[in-house]
């Protein structure tokens, strides 16, 4: 009877939390869309519902610790200041934590800490014995250093940074201890059942195809869902705006566009106007791929589909380098990695570059395995394609696979295969020379470098150190120019982002990787993964920009496969440190802990990040798309007031390729002189005036229209 009463109360409390989250305006933004705050009551509701189901059963202790871990991460996320502007996330300062709602959340976090530390204290002698048996002192110190130094992003104020590192490390430690207790509480009577299920997952041959297909579908659907409902099928980063525009005119079989009639009114970052031609300056490889989606009318689906394909490719590659168990773990981790999922949600270049890297590496592996030249040609072609998308990534890929093909870390390929690899790389990569010549007149003059040199000074966007490096406009570029100190700061910011975004785990995403990397259990394939990570890390030391906080350590995205591979190997390593005899299945508790972390991340981190950061990210919104339909803009001139980004950049995306087309033309209202020129060109069109988000503090708002040119001038005189 007591159990039934408790169960009823718990279910009722869970339902109350869900209703509260649904109706309380504090969990929504000013426009009524759910905010990141809603994730805490939802996590609490899930936790209470699970406790209701488990109470009175052998699962109640395990579910208690699982629920505590779930709510604990949700609490910690609410103490973070992130938001949808361009900045790295930080825990709020102690002054803020001790006021208002944050103080209550802090008290709840302290309560979790009390329960967890009390539980660990009871088992400390066993834990200490395992640590002493499994690790040497230097290994523990190295792992702790990684654990602590990647827990928080650098701040300009050193005292604030030190305080945040201490607090963030404490939060991660509490969650590590919570995880240990969670795994420990898994019912002994169910361990054999779990072992059988895990064995089917890790080694089951008959279900491999179904597992892979479902995994690829999951990744595609989840990232597409986020792209449609949260990213709103709209570019948010300045680069994305240009990638989409470039893809649009490539889909129309154009290499450049005609110059706009009033260039300054259509000026946009990364678009160059030379000799009457208007064109995007970034490499054309990704826009060429994206143009297929434009042609089909679904450009927002290209990256989600590529991400699903990458799941299959990653499994194929992992099967060549590791055993089946590691390969399946890598696939599972790809299915839950926020870094992978959110990168597939956007219009950026990194997902397709990852595809190229996987295919190219597979090609070299298959050429070695089968002795067939076609695989070397395939590898070379995709190395070349990578260079057309992200030249530095293509160079790194060529170096890594070139060394691997001549025998570094594996058996050397036949001379004919090496020649085929080099030839295919050169043929595909050389397309950029013809493209450069068409745009700049010089095959070796990259349009992006020419543009950067002209706009920001010679050598500003190149590799290397010097006072001339950098665009001088980025608030998150730590110091003027580029120096080893900048490189150290950039490395810290990217390591922190990797620790947060790779898996979204409350214990940090790098703990297993660090523990395994400092162990003495590495094999040849593991060293290959470390070399790949080191090459990506080292190459970006010489670039002035870290990549910023957009989508994690995005410049390091080629680390994704090596990091997940080392995480999977870390799972095996921790299993090996526990008793694995036939009468004790304790080593299976490692998998229980990892699966719990993945589930908690999906429930907590993914929706929190999607709501708190990526909805209307950088204040970029597709509002003009809806306003045009609602008000029937038709053949009109729409003047956008506000900044270039986000106000005009968001509207620019919806311009027709021909600025004389019978469609709305969106121009940037930059003052009376330009407006007069626009009125001369578009004198036969009705005029609409729209204020952008940087003016309204909300979305786009129509402030006047439709007006004739004369009506516009009259209204302007009245406003004066």
**Do the Cβ atoms of 481 and 545 come closer than 8 Å?**
no
What would the two tokens of residue 488 be?
Answer: 């150290």
Q: Determine the Cα angle at 298 with ends 287 and 277, to 5°.
A: 35
In angstroms, the CA 263 to CA 26 distance is: 44
pLDDT at 284: 96
The mean per-residue pLDDT over the stretch 341-362 comes to: 97
Q: Give the range with max mean pLDDT: 188-192, 272-276, 465-469, 513-517.
A: 513-517
What would the two tokens of residue 629 be?
Answer: 């339909």
The mean per-residue pLDDT over the stretch 28-52 comes to: 92
pLDDT at 45: 94
In angstroms, the CA 531 to CA 565 distance is: 13
* Three-class secondary structure assignment of 589-657: HHHHHHHHHHHHHHHCHHHHHHHHHHCCHHHCCCHHHHHHHHHCCCCCEEEEECCHHHHHHHHHCCCCC
Domain boundaries, the chain: 2-185+597-617, 461-572, 619-719
539's CB contacts (< 8 A; 6+ apart) are 392, 395, 396
Residue bearing tokens 């950061």? 613
**Per-residue confidence at 206, pLDDT binned at 50, 70, 90?**
low
- The pLDDT tens digits of the residues spanning 651-700 come to 999 999 999 999 999 999 998 889 999 999 998 899 999 999 999 999 99
In angstroms, the CA 688 to CA 704 distance is: 6
Residue bearing tokens 């950039």? 490
pLDDT at 718 over 70: no
Pair type for strands 277-280 and 257-258 = antiparallel
In angstroms, the CA 435 to CA 538 distance is: 29
Of 232-236, 352-356, 454-458, the poorest mean pLDDT is in 454-458
pLDDT at 709 over 80: no
- The pLDDT tens digits of the residues spanning 511-542 come to 999 999 999 889 999 999 999 999 999 999 99
In angstroms, the CA 243 to CA 214 distance is: 30
pLDDT at 241: 97
State the CB neighbour count (10 A cutoff) for residue 680. 11
pLDDT at 715: 65
What would the two tokens of residue 374 be?
Answer: 């076609």
pLDDT at 583: 52
- The pLDDT tens digits of the residues spanning 447-500 come to 999 999 999 999 999 899 999 988 765 556 778 889 999 999 999 999 999 999
User: Which long-range contacts (C-beta less than 8 Å, at least 24 apart) are formed by 118-126?
Assistant: 119/65, 119/177, 119/181, 120/177, 120/180, 120/181, 123/180, 123/181, 123/184
State the CB neighbour count (10 A cutoff) for residue 135. 17
The mean per-residue pLDDT over the stretch 416-438 comes to: 96
In angstroms, the CA 116 to CA 595 distance is: 20
Within 428-544, strands assigned E span none
**Per-residue confidence at 11, pLDDT binned at 50, 70, 90?**
confident
**Per-residue confidence at 580, pLDDT binned at 50, 70, 90?**
low
**Per-residue confidence at 247, pLDDT binned at 50, 70, 90?**
very high
Q: Determine the Cα angle at 565 with ends 564 and 567, to 5°.
A: 60
Q: Which residues of 459-471 are buried (b: 16+ CB within 10 A; e: fewer)?
A: ebbbeebeebbbe
Q: Residue 307: name the closest of 113, 482, 538, 561 by CA.
A: 561
Plot region of 548 (φ>0 → left; ψ -120 to 50 → alpha; else → beta): left
What would the two tokens of residue 659 be?
Answer: 């600025």
Radius of gyration of the chain (CA): 27
pLDDT at 690: 96
* Average pLDDT for the chain: 92
Q: To the nearest 10°, report the CA torsion of 98, 102, 105, 106.
A: -30
Of 52-56, 146-150, 250-254, 294-298, the poorest mean pLDDT is in 52-56
Q: Residue 599: name the closest of 30, 70, 243, 130 by CA.
A: 70
Residue bearing tokens 């093909």? 405
Taking the model in full, what pTM does it have? 0.94
**Do the Cβ atoms of 596 and 63 come closer than 8 Å?**
no
The mean per-residue pLDDT over the stretch 162-191 comes to: 94
In angstroms, the CA 275 to CA 267 distance is: 16
What would the two tokens of residue 115 be?
Answer: 């329960």
In angstroms, the CA 254 to CA 656 distance is: 14
Residue count (the chain): 720
pLDDT at 42 over 70: yes
**Do the Cβ atoms of 611 and 630 come closer than 8 Å?**
no
114's CB contacts (< 8 A; 6+ apart) are none
State the CB neighbour count (10 A cutoff) for residue 62. 22
The mean per-residue pLDDT over the stretch 286-294 comes to: 97
Edge-to-edge strand ranges of the sheet holding 271-274: 257-258, 277-280, 271-274
Plot region of 233 (φ>0 → left; ψ -120 to 50 → alpha; else → beta): left
Q: Residue 198: name the closest of 585, 600, 603 by CA.
A: 585
pLDDT at 582: 45
Q: What single-letter DSSP state applies at residue 558?
A: G
Q: Residue 497: name the closest of 134, 174, 218, 82 by CA.
A: 82
**Angstrom distances, CA of residue 438 to CA of 274, 435, 451, 688:** 12, 5, 15, 38
The mean per-residue pLDDT over the stretch 245-253 comes to: 97
Q: Please, what sign has the CA dihedral across residues 461, 467, 473, 477?
A: positive
Backbone angles phi, psi at 553, to 5 degrees: -80, 70
Q: To the nearest 10°, report the CA torsion of 199, 135, 509, 164.
A: 150
Q: What single-letter DSSP state applies at residue 532?
A: H
421's CB contacts (< 8 A; 6+ apart) are 364, 367, 376, 377, 379, 380, 383, 401, 402, 405, 413
């Amino acid at each position: 009877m007591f159990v039934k009463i408790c169960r009823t109360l718990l279910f009722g409390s869970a339902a109350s939390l869900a209703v509260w989250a649904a109706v309380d305006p504090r969990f929504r933004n000013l426009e009524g869309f759910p905010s990141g705050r809603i994730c805490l009551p939802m996590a609490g509701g899930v936790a209470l519902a699970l406790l209701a189901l488990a109470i009175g059963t052998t699962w109640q202790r395990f579910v208690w610790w699982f629920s505590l871990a779930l709510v604990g991460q949700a609490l910690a996320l609410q103490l973070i200041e992130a938001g949808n502007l361009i900045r790295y996330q930080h825990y709020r300062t102690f002054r803020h934590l001790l006021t208002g709602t944050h103080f209550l959340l802090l008290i709840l976090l302290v309560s979790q800490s009390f329960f967890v530390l009390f539980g660990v204290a009871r088992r400390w002698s066993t834990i200490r014995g395992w640590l002493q048996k499994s690790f040497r002192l230097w290994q523990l110190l190295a792992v702790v250093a990684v654990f602590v130094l990647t827990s928080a992003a650098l701040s300009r104020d050193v005292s604030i940074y030190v305080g945040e590192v201490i607090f963030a490390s404490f939060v991660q430690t509490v969650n590590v201890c919570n995880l240990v207790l969670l795994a420990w509480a898994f019912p002994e009577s169910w361990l054999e059942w779990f072992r059988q299920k895990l064995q089917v997952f890790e080694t089951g041959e008959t279900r491999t195809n179904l597992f892979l297909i479902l995994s690829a579908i999951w990744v595609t659907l989840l990232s597409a869902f986020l792209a449609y409902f949260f990213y709103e099928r709209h570019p948010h980063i300045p680069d994305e705006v240009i990638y989409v525009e470039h893809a649009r005119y490539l889909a129309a079989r154009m290499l450049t566009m005609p110059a706009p009639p009033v260039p300054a009114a259509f000026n946009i970052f990364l678009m160059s106007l030379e000799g009457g031609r208007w064109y995007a300056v970034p490499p054309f490889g990704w826009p060429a791929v994206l143009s297929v989606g434009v042609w089909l009318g679904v450009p927002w689906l290209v990256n989600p589909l590529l991400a699903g394909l990458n799941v299959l490719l990653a499994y194929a590659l992992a099967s060549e380098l590791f055993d089946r168990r590691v390969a399946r773990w890598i696939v599972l981790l790809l299915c839950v990695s926020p870094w992978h999922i959110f990168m597939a949600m956007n219009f950026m270049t990194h997902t397709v570059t990852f595809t190229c890297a996987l295919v190219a590496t597979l090609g070299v592996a298959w050429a070695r395995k089968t002795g067939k030249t076609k695989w070397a040609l395939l590898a070379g072609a995709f190395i070349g394609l990578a260079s057309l998308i992200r030249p530095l990534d293509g160079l790194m890929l060529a170096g890594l696979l070139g060394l691997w093909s001549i025998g570094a870390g594996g058996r050397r390929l036949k001379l004919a295969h090496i020649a085929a690899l080099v030839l295919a790389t050169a043929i595909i990569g050389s397309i950029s020379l013809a493209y450069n010549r068409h745009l700049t007149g010089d095959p070796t003059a990259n349009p992006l470098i020419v543009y950067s040199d002209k706009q920001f000074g010679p050598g500003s966007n190149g590799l290397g150190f010097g006072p001339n490096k950098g665009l001088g406009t980025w608030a998150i570029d730590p110091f003027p120019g580029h120096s080893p100190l900048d490189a150290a700061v950039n490395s810290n910011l990217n390591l922190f982002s990797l620790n947060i975004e790779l898996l979204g785990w409350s214990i940090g995403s790098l703990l297993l990787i660090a523990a395994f990397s400092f162990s003495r259990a590495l094999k040849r394939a593991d060293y290959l993964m470390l070399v790949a990570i080191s090459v990506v890390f080292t190459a970006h030391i010489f670039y002035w920009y870290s990549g910023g906080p957009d989508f994690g350590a995005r410049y390091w995205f080629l680390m994704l496969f090596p990091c997940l591979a080392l995480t999977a190997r870390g799972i095996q390593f921790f299993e090996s440190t526990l008793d694995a005899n036939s009468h004790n299945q304790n080593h299976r508790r490692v998998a229980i802990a990892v699966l719990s972390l993945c589930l908690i991340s999906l429930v907590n981190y993914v929706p929190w990040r999607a709501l708190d950061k990526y909805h209307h990210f950088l204040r970029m919104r597709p509002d003009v798309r809806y306003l045009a339909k609602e008000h029937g803009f038709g053949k009109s001139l729409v003047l956008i007031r506000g900044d270039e980004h986000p106000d005009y950049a968001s509207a620019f995306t919806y311009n027709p390729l021909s600025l004389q087309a019978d469609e709305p033309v969106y121009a940037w209202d930059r003052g009376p002189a330009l407006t007069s020129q626009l009125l001369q060109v578009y004198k036969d069109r009705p005029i609409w005036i729209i204020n952008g988000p940087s003016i309204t503090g909300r979305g786009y708002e129509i402030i006047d229209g439709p007006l004739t040119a004369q009506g516009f001038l009259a209204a302007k005189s009245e406003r004066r």
